[in-house]
Amino acid sequence: MRVAAIRRTVLIASAVSVALLVTGCGGDAEGGEGKEARGDAGGRKPVAKALTAGELEKRVVAEGDVKGHEVKEPGKRDVFEPGSVSAERAECKPVAQVLSALPAGEPTARVQRLVVHEAEGAKKDLPSTDEMADMKEGEAGEAMLDSLDVTKTLTSLWSYDADGAQQALATLREAGRKCAGGFAMTADGDEQQVTKVSVEKLSVGEEAVAWTVGTEQDGAAAETKVVVFRQGTTLAGFSSFNIAAITRGEAFEQPTAVIEAQAAKLG
């Protein structure tokens, strides 16, 4: 589900939940710049080549790579088109891009997958109308929220020529610092406010950034876990959300299993 659709879904989920309750029905994230490529005997650095789209397809996470997770290609409604995301402050656009699962900088090739993990409660059938009528106050709302306890992670691989991946990640890191206090952005015509960009620690790849990004749209607050790490000339990006956690106002964890599986495939 793309970011704009995510926000709309959060609003709908929150409204439904309330109605039920009422009725009774390798390097550290934000760390150093990573390892530099070794030069040849003459002191010159070899020109790093970007992976092709075909090579990225072989390296992106696939069904069976992440235990207990479904991996599939995202549909058109799950993703944004390039150019559909903007930020009120130009220096904050890189954050808006990766929040929306769009690449930082200008990669030469890209692939993307949607990875879905259902908690045990989400695997159960919703109670029938009669069963909800017999539930105690608040139980129906909790059952509804349990059914929404699904974490969706848009997982992306972006490949760059030469030092493009390093430069893109450095720009992204700086954008996170400058825009930590928030900024206004538009995604596919939907306006929302980024309220915070909070740094998290994560050791993966040669270097990485990891954030919790708070947003607010039409009075509804949400949080998204955003991670981007570099392995050679490739950046791996993750934008993850959980509707039940958002509606309950609870924190949820980074999609560690997905990140680790993707790191293993990049080598």
pLDDT in tens, 10-59: 433 443 343 333 333 444 555 444 444 344 445 566 678 999 999 999 99
Confidence of residue 245 (pLDDT cuts 50, 70, 90): confident
Domain of 239, in residue numbers: 28-35+46-118+150-266
71-87 residue pLDDT tens: 999 998 899 998 999 99
Q: What CATH number is attached to the domain comprising 159? A: 3.40.1000.70
Residue 19 lies in a domain: no
Residue 55 lies in a domain: yes
Residue 68 lies in a domain: yes
Confidence (pTM): 0.78
Percent of the chain with pLDDT over 70: 72
Residue 61 lies in a domain: yes
Q: Is 70 exceeded by the pLDDT of residue 248?
A: yes
What's the structural domain count of the chain? 1
DSSP per-residue letters across the chain: --HHHHHHHHHHHHHHHHHHHHHT---BBT----PPPPP-TTSPPPPPPPPPHHHHHHHS--TTSSTT-EEE---GGGSPPTTSEEESSGGGHHHHHHHTT--SS--SEEEEEEEEEE-GGGGSPPPPHHHHHTSPTTHHHHHHHHHT-EEEEEEEEEE-STTHHHHHHHHHHHHHHHTTT-EEEEETTEEEEEEEEEE---B-SSEEEEEEEEEEETTEEEEEEEEEEEETTEEEEEEEEEHHHHHHT------HHHHHHHHHHH-
Residue 12 lies in a domain: no
Residue 252 lies in a domain: yes
pLDDT at 41: 47
Can you tell me the mean pLDDT for 227-256?
A: 89
Residue 75 lies in a domain: yes
Query: Which has the minimum average pLDDT: 16-20, 150-154, 242-246?
Result: 16-20
Residue 2 lies in a domain: no
